[in-house]
Copies of this chain bind each other. A is one copy, B any other.
Amino acid sequence: MPKFTQANSCNTCPYKDYALTKLQTNDVDLIQNSCLIVNFKKGENVCKQGTEVTHALYLAKGSVKLYIEGKNKNLILKIITQSKYIGLQSLFGDRVYQYTITTLEDSQICMINANIILDLAKKNVNYLFELTRNISEATNFVYKKIIDINQKQLRGRLADVLLHFSENVFRSDTFELKLTRKELAEYSAMSMENTVRILNEYKKDGIIGIEGKVFTIKQPEILRKVAELG
Contacts and interface: CB of A to CB of B under 8 A. Distances in A.
Contacts of A92: 129, 132-133, 135-136
Nearest to A68: B147
Nearest to A189: B150
A133 B131 CA distance: 11
Interface stretch (A13-21, A70-78, A205-213): A70-78
Interface residues of A, number: 44
A147 B70 contact: yes
Contacts of A89: 135-136, 139-140
A138 interface: yes
A26 B147 CA distance: 41
Interface stretch (A104-112, A119-127, A196-204): A119-127
Interface of A: 68, 70-73, 75, 77, 88-94, 98-99, 121-126, 128-129, 131-133, 135-140, 142-147, 149-151, 189, 230
